[in-house]
Amino acid sequence: MPPDNPNDKARHYSEKEVSRLLEYATDLQEKDEAERHPAPESVGTTLVALQEAAAEVGIEPRFIQLAAARIDSPEASGMGAALAGTPLVIRAEQVIPGDLPEEDYERLVEEVQSATEEHGNWTIVGRTLTWWDSATSLEVTVVSRSGDTRIQAKRRLHGWAGILFGLGVGGVGIGIGTVGLAFGMKMLGSALFAALFPIGLTGSLYVAMRRVMKSMGRDRRVQLERLVDRIVQFVQRTPR
């Protein structure tokens, strides 16, 4: 069993959080997202205890750690996320004990390239690696400092939001709505139909595109968590 994260020593999870955490961990292991089943809040539970209990039902400890990272780093909220159906910047992060030696950062770049199947660009300054790929809007940061290594991956969805909502809802909605406006006025002689048709169509397109974005956000988050987990395993098996 991997050592408990020092940052988790004072962290206790309520029964409600335990329920969510176990669900997330199961999702990660089975590569699926499940429904939430919150339970009443009660006395706290430590991460180590959760890992031990989860191991008894077949959930690997590393997935519990990933799920805990999700609990402790809630997704961004706000008007943009509410309208789009998902945060437009998806993040995954883990902090593990131990430093990664500077001489291993070149191999770390190769590990990131292999995991993402992208060459990307990168900079290494001391014990800080920043790797990014403009085509996929993906960025990975690894920082070793003060006996800990922080791994963070994030992906921006602004481009997809522009395509789906700008071209999909705006372009298609206006185009078909104009046809509906002409049809309503000339063929049916109904000003009400002519006025409501574009509004209804645009609203339906928006709901459909929001569902696409929401699904994309979930998928990208799972991908980032797997990427971070792979980097964690690389760091943990590197001699220090």
State yes or no: pLDDT of 224 exceeds 50: yes
The predicted structure's pLDDT at residue 40: 44
- 121-142 tens-digit pLDDT: 999 999 999 999 999 999 999 9
Task: Please indicate whether residue 124 or residue 183 has the higher confidence score (pLDDT).
Answer: 124
Q: What is the pLDDT of residue 134?
A: 92
- Provide, rounded to the nearest whole percent, the portion of the chain with pLDDT above 90: 28
- Residue 23 CA to residue 14 CA, distance in Å, equals 14
The confidence score (pLDDT) of residue 187 equals 47
- Separation of alpha carbons 189 and 38, rounded Å: 54
* pTM value surpassing 0.75: no
Q: What is the reported pLDDT for 39?
A: 43
224: left (phi over 0), alpha (psi -120 to 50) or beta: alpha
Cα-Cα-Cα-Cα torsion 210, 213, 219, 224, nearest 10 degrees, comes to -130
Closest CA to 54 of 31, 12, 30, 23: 23
Highest mean pLDDT out of 94-108, 151-165, 188-202: 94-108
**Per residue in 156-175, pLDDT tens?**
988 777 777 666 555 554 55
Average model confidence (pLDDT) for the chain?
74
Beta strands in 72-199 (DSSP E): 89-97, 121-125, 128-133, 138-145, 148-156
Average pLDDT over residues 80-104: 84
pLDDT tens column, 22-80: 777 777 766 544 444 444 444 456 666 777 777 777 777 767 766 766 666 555 555 65
Higher pLDDT, 187 or 218: 218
Tell me: pLDDT of 213 over 80: yes
pLDDT at 35: 43
pLDDT recorded at residue 185: 47
Phi and psi at residue 38, to the nearest 5°? -65, 150
